[in-house]
Each structure stands twice: as C-alpha cells, then as structure tokens.
Amino acid sequence: MSTDTPASLIPPEIWIRVMPLVHKSSITRVLSSSAFFASLSRSAIVHTKWTEICIFESIRIPQDVSFQFKMPGRPVDHHIARLLKALLPIALLPGGRPCFASLIAPANPKPDPIFTSAYIDWLFKKGGPLYVASPLPRQRLEEKLVDFVTRKGKSVYHDPLNVDQTKRDSRWMPIPDALLLLMYSIRSGQPTLLARILPHVLRLIPKDTSLSSRIWSHYLLDNRRKVVYSLVTDLDASQQDSLSFSMFLYWLVAIEWSAPMLAAVDSKLGERALFLDMFFNKNDGFFLFLLTKTAPLWEEPRRVVEVIRYLQLGRKPMVVIAALMLGLFVSTVLTLIGVVLAAVAARVSRLRTG
C-alpha cells in the first residue's frame, strides 16, 4: 500500500511559493498536524515555515494556562511562555480541570513534534530569530534579566489576569525566549533537546551569570507551587544571595530526578563537584527536601537510585542507605499491593463464574 499523501505529492518548490500567501484560518490548524509535518520532511524550509505558523498563528492555547502560575514572584508571561506551559504534561484536578505543567518531567517522553533539533538549530543560527551577534556584557545582561520580571505593561510581561489571548507576540525575543526553551527541555524530560539548546543559551547567558533564586524562579515553567516556593525559600535560608546560572540549572534538573538530564547538563558545564559542595555538603537539608518533597518514590523509585548513583553521594553513606532502603521499601510495598489486588480480582472472577 502506498504511503503517499496528497501533501507529499506536491513538490516543495510549490509549498515554498504558497507559504507567504497563508493567513490564519481553520485550515491552518488542520494542516499543522504531526502527519502533515512528516510529509514535508523533504524540505527543511517548508517545515520551518509551518512550524512558525503553528507557534504564532495556529496552536490554540488554553485561556487559563497563565492563571495557575502564581509563584513566589510572577513569572514571565507572553505568547512563547504560555505555549511552552501548555505543551508540558498536565495533571487533572477534581472535576477534570487541567492543571498545567504540574507533573514531574517524564522519564520516557515522546519525540517533540515541534521543537526538533533542526528547528532549534535554525532558531539559533546566524540570522535566525534567536541569534545575537554580540551578547550583552554580564552586568547589562543581569540587569535585563531582572528588568523582565520587575516591570509591568511591556510586551514581555503581562498580568495573567489581563492577558488578551487574541493579541499574540509575532516574533521571537532572544531573552527571555532562549531561556524559556531551555526550561521547557528540562520540564519535558528531554535530555537530547536539552543538550542541543544549552550551548546556544550559554552563548547568550554565560554560566557565571548570577541572580537571586527568586529572580531565577520567574523563568520557571513549573506549576508545582509548594515545590518551587519551598526550594526558593530554602535557598534564601542558606544565604545564597546570588545563584549562578550553572547552579540554577543543576538545581532544576535535581528536582526532576533525571540522571540523563544531569549528565546532559554536566557534560556542558562540568561543575557537578561544585553543585555537590554547595547543596549537599553545606546544606544537608536540601537533599532531604528533594527526597521527601519531589522524589517519585511511589511511582518510579529507580529514578531516585539512578540520580543518587550519578551524583556519587557515597560521601554521605547514611543518606544514601536511607534513600535506597526507602526506595526499596516503597517498591516492595507496591509490588505486594499489586499481588494482593490481582489475587482478589482472580478470586472475585472465580466466584462470579462459579
């Protein structure tokens, strides 16, 4: 059976000429499906054009995606930020109402249909929308990052209660969008995408860029309110008046309990020893907080074990032993519960058929 589709039979040269004529319409949403994207894979130019149309014109963003993000400080909130929040895994509240970006990063995410490696390279290439010929000096960069989250009424900051969803930002902005894409790669659990984006972002935001933990928290795409609030409070209590960009990234990956993402960050930054010294040797409560508040012990205890092994926390044997024992205990309890439920179900089935 032929796998050709009507779209695949049209030469890319025709699509390229048609693209500038396309306007926002219902047909745009139909044609921007994953299947249609796949049929255009022969032409990178056409694929990029359709991706841009989907991002800025076609994809419908739920109106309440920003209402739930009330963190220690109001987050950056514009079109790209809202889109990325809407694409992250959601939890269901009582009554079936979605709670956006409120789950831990998935361990085995599906390939990203929008932010592919080729599209990321196009965004950051010379002449691309996120390319900056001359990155800002450190002091000016830090001032700009603070300015984005402290001023109101500008194109990069909106009050979530007064967002006009019919008016969309029509262009990319290197800052904060590059940083938000990096946050998205972490929260969506994609180490390959993370490794692809991070070198580009480090060109714009060097790893020694320092801000307070509360300022960094404005750029999070995380709706786990208690987790974010508690972590920011914990960092403040540890007298971390300023947190480097590199430590901020280690911090984010740590709360997702992903050894592959830790490896991706460490391969580009190489500051794992500094991270361990800052957050584990000088602040024992940090790891305890991670273990009790963010670790998926009940669902995926193996993730906790893999992160402990990667961080080489052998210098804290009691902590490691306690974590391993707790993970083993939870895993065993869940297995026993599963066995009991299966036995009960089998018994009930036999009684009904008897």
Residues 30-40 pLDDT 10s? 454 555 555 55
In terms of domains, do 29 and 41 share one? yes
What's the pLDDT at 95? 76
234 domain-assigned? yes
pLDDT higher than 60, residue 156:
no
Same domain for 345 and 255: no
Tell me, yes or no, whether 35 and 97 share the same domain: no
Residue 33 lies in a domain: yes
- Residue where a domain terminates, one of 59, 79, 104: 59
Residue 198: per-residue pLDDT: 97
Question: How far apart (Å, rounded) are the C-alpha atoms in residues 65 and 84?
Answer: 10
pLDDT at residue 121, as a whole number:
94
Supply the pLDDT for residue 266.
94
In a domain, 36, yes or no: yes
Last residue of a domain, one of 235, 257, 282: 282
pLDDT at 25 over 60: no
Structural domain that includes position 67? 62-282
Instruction: Supply angle C-alpha 291, 292, 298, rounded to 5.
Output: 90
69 and 164 together in one domain: yes
The pTM of this model reads 0.74
Tell me, yes or no, whether 26 and 79 share the same domain.
no
**Helices 317-353 and 301-311, axial angle in degrees (round to 10):** 160
Asked if the structure places residue 288 within a domain, the reply is no
Judgement on whether residues 183 and 309 belong to the same structural domain of the protein: no
Query: Taking all residues of the chain, what is their mean pLDDT, rounded to a whole number?
Result: 75
In a domain, residue 319? The reply is yes
Going from the C-alpha of 298 to that of each of 115, 213, 228, 305, the distances in angstroms are: 31, 29, 20, 13
Closest CA to 275 of 292, 297, 252, 295: 252
Mind listing the pLDDT tens digit for each residue in 163-172?
A: 343 344 458 9
pLDDT on residue 52 = 84
Alpha-carbon distances, residue 346 vs 230, 332, 335, 337, 354 (angstroms): 44, 21, 17, 14, 12
Q: Are strands 98-99 and 243-244 parallel, antiparallel or unpaired?
A: unpaired
Mean of pLDDT values over 195-212 = 95
Q: Does residue 287 lie within any of the structural domains?
A: no
Q: Is residue 78 part of a domain?
A: yes
| Residue 339 CA: distances (Å) to CA of 302, 342, 344 | 20, 5, 9
Query: Has residue 77 got a pLDDT over 60?
Result: yes
Number of domains in the chain: 3
Q: Has residue 298 been placed in a domain?
A: yes
Taking only the tens place, the pLDDT of each residue in 224-257 is: 877 777 777 776 666 556 889 999 999 899 889 9
Q: What is Dmax (Cα atoms) for the chain?
A: 79
| Rounded Cα–Cα distance for residues 101 and 86 (Å) | 7
* Pair 222, 269 in one domain: yes
Q: Are residues 51 and 115 in the same domain?
A: no
Q: Judge if 101 and 145 occupy the same domain.
A: yes
* Residue 98 and residue 6 share a domain: no
What gap in Å lies between CA 304 and CA 323, rounded to an integer? 8
* Residue 53 and residue 202 share a domain: no
Alpha-carbon span 61 to 164, nearest angstrom:
12
Helices (H), 238-313: 245-254, 259-269, 272-276, 284-289, 301-311
DSSP 9-71: TS-HHHHHHHGGG--SSHHHHHHTSHHHHHHTTT-HHHHHHHHHHIIIIIPPPPTTTTTT---
Co-location of 209 and 96 in the same domain = yes
Tokens of 167: 């008016």
Mean pLDDT value across residues 312-331: 57
Q: Among residues 16, 41, 59, which one ends one of the domains?
A: 59
